Amino acid sequence: MNKQKSTITLIALSFAFTSCLTSTKDYTPADAHSHNDYKNSIPFYRAYDAGFGSIEADVFAVNGQLLVAHSEDEITPKRSLKGMYLDPLIEKFKRDTTRKLRLLIEIKKDYTITLPLVIEELKPLSQYLNYPGHAGRLSIVMTGAVPPGAVMLNYPAWLNFDVDHIGGFTPQQLTKVGLISVPFSRFSKWDGARDISQPDVDRLTAMIDSAHAIGKKVRFWETPDNPACWKELIRLHADVIGTDRINELAIYLDKKAYLE
């Protein structure tokens, strides 16, 4: 009898150990986000070819078109959303028939002017757009100067929004929330150079759990952009790992270095 109990105990411990090993989601570059992608030397292509599942571009509405820039003094007609992202995306999706992507478009000024242009410029990609009843491969999420929750409902089903809070939305309004993005500094001052404190972990975990409880993915921005922080975010089950270091994060995720 004692031998039988010992065997059962060993099996239970083995199962628990295995569960711990498998509790971490299998993260890949598809879980990575290219923050301010247009600032790197090869916009769109570097992140896309590295397998990133999320790419970000900031836009200004200028003379009836969307131009990509971080600030107004950087605006140039040569850097349009269509030329830098939408046209290349069409060509890639024609060849990569199973590839999925989230395009995060940041509204820099006045959503009432910007969003109609987004709707117009995305028309050539309509067959790829993801929305209820149409499992497309391209998810469009607007961030930055987004409209309030009640106004979000006025836009097409495929046009979702990134918000920095959870409260204050009706269930219907929440259907328009495509991502929750919050500043890392709201929860932690950790610089990624030493062990993160338990209170910081608790605050980050509470944020992640709150987002997951309403079925939403969460991204932290302005995090320490290094392997220590990438590993911690993965350990805490953050859904989207943002970076300005595209190649380094892609290699890190491909090698499963977060398991070391």
Among residues 117, 162, 120, the alpha carbon closest in space to that of 139 is found at 162
Residues in the chain, overall count: 260
Query: Mean pLDDT, the chain, as a whole number?
Result: 92
Tell me, yes or no, whether 4 lies in a domain: no
How far is it, in rounded angstroms, from Cα 224 to Cα 217? 20
pLDDT digits (tens, 9 = 90+) for 160-182: 999 999 999 999 999 999 999 99
For the CA atoms of 124, 151, 238, 49, what is the dihedral angle to 10 degrees?
10
Q: What is the pLDDT averaged over residues 128-154?
A: 98
Q: In this predicted structure, what is the pLDDT of residue 1? A: 46
Tell me, yes or no, whether 53 lies in a domain: yes
Tell me, yes or no, whether 147 lies in a domain: yes
**CATH for 127:** 3.20.20.190
Tell me, yes or no, whether 15 lies in a domain: no
Q: Which residues are CB-contacts of 150 (< 8 A; sequence separation ≥ 6)?
A: 173
For residue 23, give Cα distances in angstroms to 27, 213, 227, 233.
Answer: 12, 18, 20, 14
Tell me, yes or no, whether 21 lies in a domain: no
Whether pLDDT at 8 is above 90: no
More confident site: 55 or 13: 55
Residue listed under structure tokens 């979702």: 160
Q: What is the pLDDT averaged over residues 217-224?
A: 98
Q: In this predicted structure, what is the pLDDT of residue 24? A: 62
Give SS3 for 4: helix
pLDDT digits (tens, 9 = 90+) for 72-109: 999 999 999 999 999 999 999 999 999 999 999 999 99
Tell me, yes or no, whether 13 lies in a domain: no
Burial of 58 (0-12, 13-18, 19+ CB in 10 A): buried
Which residue type, as a one-letter code, is found at position 7? T
Q: Which domain holds residue 213?
A: 29-256
How far is it, in rounded angstroms, from Cα 240 to Cα 161? 15
How far is it, in rounded angstroms, from Cα 257 to Cα 249? 10
Contact 100, 53 (CB under 8 A): yes
Reported confidence tier of residue 252, pLDDT bands at 50, 70, 90: very high
Contact 62, 75 (CB under 8 A): yes
Rounded to the nearest 10 degrees, what angle do helices 246-254 and 227-235 cross at?
Answer: 50
Tell me, yes or no, whether 123 lies in a domain: yes
pLDDT digits (tens, 9 = 90+) for 16-71: 333 343 456 899 999 999 999 999 999 999 999 999 999 999 999 999 999 999 99
Whether pLDDT at 243 is above 60: yes
Structural domains in the chain (count): 1
Between the two ends of the chain, the Cα-to-Cα distance in Å is 40
Tell me, yes or no, whether 232 lies in a domain: yes
Q: In this predicted structure, what is the pLDDT of residue 12? A: 36
Give SS3 for 7: helix
How far is it, in rounded angstroms, from Cα 112 to Cα 214? 28
Look up residue 46 and give its two tokens.
């570097």
Q: In this predicted structure, what is the pLDDT of residue 257? A: 95
